[in-house]
Amino acid sequence: MNYVAVRQGFFFNIARFQSAQPARPCVAIMSTILKTEKLRVEYRSREFRQAAKVALNALDLEVHAGEVFGFLGPNGAGKTTTMNVLLGFVPPSGGTASLFGIDVREPIARQRIGYLPELTYYYKFLTAEELLRFYAKIFGIARREAEQRIAALLKLVELEHAARRPIKSYSKGMQQRVGLAQALINNPDLLILDEPTSGLDPLGRMKVREIIQRLKNEGKTVFFSSHELGEVETVCDRVAIVHQGELKAVGSVAEISAGHDNLEKAFLKIVGFQTASPT
Amino acid sequence: MNKIFALAGVVIKELYRRKDFYVLFVLTALITVGAGMANFFHDDKIVRYVKDLCLLLIWVSALVIAIVTTSRQIPAEREARTIFPLLAKPVSRGQVIVGKFLGCWLATGVALLVFYVFFAIIIGSKEQHWPVLIYLQAAWMQWLMLAIVIGMVLLGSIYFAAPSSTSTISFVVVVGILLLGGHLNVIALQQPEPMQTLLAVIYYGMPHLEWYDLRDFVVYNLGSASLLATLLATLYAALWTGIFLFLAWLGFHRKSLTT
């Protein structure tokens, strides 16, 4: 089986898996899934008399059910900090952040989310099956249901043959697929993806776009950060652009791009990047 | 509670998939069996020396397993960044602390059980005497002592980023308490002020790990300690473990973890 065929089979399985999951009726159309109000994060300096660094300042953000939301900004803009607050890694210095109306400081706020980090970080001494079983227990999924989901997810990500091998023996691609499986173990209503296409080849990127689109068709909400503006333009319903810890623009791709050739030019203008004028 | 057991299960799996325990067990077994086979000066009481040596090795091995395993739990999670997918799930940091504690404690308990079964077989085959009750009591007391040690190391691992620093400091503190803890009040009386007060404060303010050492009871066949003493020691260990875990939670629950 060649590489393309493997990839195509893998992503085809994703669509089949998601359509097999029972839909949750509780997510109302246009209800707010993710919300931040006047969110502020300061990092205290360890240097004596050094002022605290403001990573986020008064960030107001709303992501609605069923939309694909792109979170953009140059390096150091505050994207990762926002994600860190939403996932409970960093406590906010001020303001509030909530998921499904629950303060992100409450662990239960993360019951219906799936998180795919930029790079794979999993217990390498566990097998894929054990890792998924562990996360299923953390989500409180009943054993029988967990076993069914694990089997389905391992089939989905084409890791059935390696399910009982330690993750440390996996290739990078296989580890990424474990990452995807763990992000879907609880059949989440909100997927938080941190630069999901970073480090992928063009075919992989195209397929990730397909996944995001399919998740949207399933009624899932997707919140993802990316530097790939072309990709954002293709898959996102709305985007937000942050720069220097502040929200600079939010709206549909068409609204943001209005008056510019494309999203990239709008983005550069918004973050204040001066293109070299032709001589 | 299921989340805590799930976290503990991962710690136990990690321990038995690493080589530390097997190396220590094989070393202990080799040294004990070697010493047991020797017959120095045709001494009939050689079995006492074998018991003493074996129990010392069990104490050292159990401490090494407990301290080394515990000190790398939180720092390794942070270094390998596995803490991020974990905390992105509906699990609180308090549950992570308790789960890690439980995993380390149960893992060292399993190791201790293997060590004591080996000890009982070796000594029983020599003495033709099976004082199971005192073995169980000695193992239980040692396990309680390890609960305090694991709690203390977990607390240290929140503040010291490197597992090696936590391990080293913990070894120094634990060995210091085991060797000097019981004598510190006597030493204090021989010191001028303010050293006397300082040592007295340390004596009354530290966990007395040496109280859990029943090796002499086993070596000299002194019988078992009273049930009341065992119960009080259990409560004392629970109190100190609780204090250490609470302090660890205080340090961890508001800590910023940046990806």
State the pLDDT at residue A23.
47
* DSSP 8-state code for residue B225: P
CB-based contact A154:A129 (threshold 8 Å)? yes
pLDDT at residue A13 above 60? no
Answer whether A121 sits within 8 Å of B84, measured CB to CB.
yes
Tell me which of B11, B77, B256, B257 to substitute to probe the interface with A (most A C-beta atoms closer than 10 Å).
B256
Min Cα separation A97/chain B (Å): 15
**Chain B contact for A139 (CB, 8 A cutoff):** yes
**Chain B contact for A52 (CB, 8 A cutoff):** no
**Counts of helices then strands in chain A (DSSP H, E):** 9, 10
**Chain A contact for B120 (CB, 8 A cutoff):** no
Q: Give the SS3 label for residue A191.
A: strand
State the pLDDT at residue B182.
80
Mean pLDDT, rounded, of chain A: 80
Residue-by-residue DSSP string for A81-134: HHHHHHTTSS--SEEEEEETTEETTSGGGGTTEEEE-SS----TTSBHHHHHHH
- Residues from chain A contacting residue B95 (CB–CB below 8 Å): 107
pLDDT at residue A57 above 60? yes
Tell me which residue of B110, B144, B158 sits closest to B240, measured CA to CA. Answer: B144
Instruction: Name the residue of chain A whose CA is nearest to B79's CA.
Output: A121
State the pLDDT at residue A146.
93
* pLDDT-based confidence at residue A3 (cuts at 50, 70, 90): very low
State the pLDDT at residue A11.
46
Distance, in Å, from the CA atom of B115 to the CA atom of B64, rounded to the nearest integer, reads: 13
Answer whether A194 sits within 8 Å of B259, measured CB to CB.
yes
The structure tokens listed for A192 are 């938080």
Answer whether A89 sits within 8 Å of B258, measured CB to CB.
yes
State the pLDDT at residue A30.
57
Distance, in Å, from the CA atom of B204 to the CA atom of A123, rounded to the nearest integer, reads: 41
State the pLDDT at residue B42.
58
State the pLDDT at residue B236.
95
Answer whether B10 sits within 8 Å of A91, measured CB to CB.
no
Distance, in Å, from the CA atom of B42 to the CA atom of B44, rounded to the nearest integer, reads: 6
- Greatest CA separation for chain B: 65
Mean pLDDT of A245-264: 84
Strand order across the beta sheet in which A113-116 lies: A113-116, A190-194, A221-225, A68-72, A238-243, A246-252
Instruction: Name the residue of chain A whose CA is nearest to B83's CA.
Output: A121
- Residues from chain B contacting residue A137 (CB–CB below 8 Å): 2-3, 5-6
pLDDT at residue A124 above 90? no
pLDDT at residue A26 above 50? no
Tell me which of B21, B77, B89, B253 to substitute to probe the interface with A (most A C-beta atoms closer than 10 Å).
B89
Instruction: Name the residue of chain A whose CA is nearest to B88's CA.
Output: A87
Distance, in Å, from the CA atom of B257 to the CA atom of A81, rounded to the nearest integer, reads: 10
| Rounded alpha-carbon distances, angstroms, from residue B52 to A84, A130, A195, B33, B144 | 53, 41, 59, 13, 20
Taking only the tens place, the pLDDT of each residue in A172-222 is 777 878 888 888 898 898 999 888 777 666 766 676 677 777 778 888 899
The CA-to-CA distance between both ends of chain B, in Å, stands at 28
Give B50 or A127, the one with higher predicted confidence.
A127
Compute the CA torsion angle B133, B135, B137, B138 (nearest 10 deg).
160
pTM as predicted: 0.84
The structure tokens listed for A16 are 């089949």
Min Cα separation B246/chain A (Å): 19
Tell me which residue of A16, A218, A182, A202 sits closest to A193, measured CA to CA. Answer: A182
Give this complex's ipTM. Answer: 0.81
State the pLDDT at residue B34.
72
Min Cα separation B208/chain A (Å): 36
Min Cα separation A234/chain B (Å): 27
Taking only the tens of pLDDT, chain B with its 259 residues reads: 788 999 999 998 888 887 777 777 787 777 777 766 666 555 657 778 888 888 898 899 899 989 998 998 898 888 888 899 999 999 999 999 999 999 999 999 988 888 888 888 888 877 777 888 889 999 999 999 999 999 999 999 998 878 888 889 989 999 998 888 888 888 888 888 888 888 888 888 889 988 888 888 888 878 778 889 999 999 999 999 999 999 999 988 877 777 6
How many beta-carbon pairs below 8 A join chains A and B?
90
**Chain B contact for A46 (CB, 8 A cutoff):** no
Kind plus residue range of the DSSP H or E element containing B59? helix B46-79
- Kindly report the backbone phi and psi dihedral angles of residue B170, in degrees, each rounded to the nearest multiple of 5, phi listed first: -65, -45
Min Cα separation A18/chain B (Å): 20
Distance, in Å, from the CA atom of B179 to the CA atom of A190, rounded to the nearest integer, reads: 56
- Residues from chain A contacting residue B254 (CB–CB below 8 Å): 91
Place of tokens 């104490």: B59
